[in-house]
Structure 1
Amino acid sequence: MTGDLIDFAHFKKLELVVGRVVEVVVHPKADRLYIVQIDVGRDSPVQSVTSLVPYYTVEELTGRSVVVLLNLEPVRMRGEVSEAMLLCAETPDESESVLLTPARDMPPGTPVV
């Protein structure tokens, strides 16, 4: 095991939910970034700027169910606000990055516990 251990109370602070990708566009200022709109069961989608261009096409991402970290402090990436993070498993050399997805269809906003 690497890194510091956290207790369950810290883990519970993470707002992990199922989301459904509703729109994907290539970032106009970065050829390795997508700007992704994600339905997370709220009134409007949340936006994530993600470096998945080498791993997924727009068509492969659109409509996909994903695991999303919502309560991450928003950051600007090449002028676009990223207010959520799509969770992936990634090899140390970054040759592969695979989105975490629910094994069965779950509605957007379903908590991941």
Structure 2
Amino acid sequence: MTTNIARLYKVAENAEGKIADVKNWKISELTEENRILTSKVELAKAELVKLEIQNGKKQYTVPSKTATPQENGITKADITEQAPVNKEKKEKKVKDAHKKAPEPTIEIADVRKLDFRIGKIVEINKHPDADSLYVEKIDCGEETLRTVVSGLVNHVPIDEMKERIVMILCNLKPVK
């Protein structure tokens, strides 16, 4: 009986060894497959960027998570990421020189130009000509009260609007 138990222990040890070997083999196989797939993804990304540049789409750099700040505020990752973008821009300029038809440009709004102000609603009435509009007089700290028309009748009762603190966009053209 002791010989049977000893044999069982040997078989179990052999099985554990084989399982460990298979496990290590599978891990190495999956690691290699992961490396191959990662390289394929990088090649596909590079091809996509190349095609987007050819079609005139502007490329933007994405900040990396591993960037370490330096004393002057510029990170090492920013410096390394800026170099490929400059090359892409040079390629784009060369390719744009070959194109003769001008492409329509899309301007991106600059948020810094917007004039947001905080004010307090001093007076509020319904618009005389429209049922879904309020006419508000807002104190923004200027000499005169600002008159603002808003379409909040269906969303906020007039009593809740009185004496409210609001943020308004002030650099819009006046409309009669």
Q: Same fold (TM over 0.5)?
A: yes
Partner Cα distance (1:53, 1:5) in 2: 34
* 1:24 counterpart letter in structure 2: I
Residue 6 of structure 1 deviates from its aligned partner by: 3.2
RMSD: 1.6
Structure 2: gaps spanning 5 or more residues: 1-105
- Asked if residue 6 in structure 1 is aligned to residue 108 in structure 2, the reply is yes
Which residue is equivalent to 1:52? 152
With normalisation by structure 2, the TM-score equals: 0.38
Partner Cα distance (1:27, 1:63) in 2: 18
**SS at 2:120's partner residue?**
strand
Q: How many residues align?
A: 71
Q: 2:131 aligns with which of 5, 28, 31?
A: 31
Whichever structure has more strand as a proportion of its residues is 1
Q: Which has the higher contact order (CA 8 A, sep 6+)?
A: 1
Q: Spell out structure 1 runs of 4+ moving beyond 3 A.
A: 4-7
Structure 1: gaps spanning 5 or more residues: 77-113
Q: In percent, how many aligned pairs have the same letter?
A: 37
Whichever structure has more helix as a proportion of its residues is 2
**SS at 1:75's partner residue?**
coil
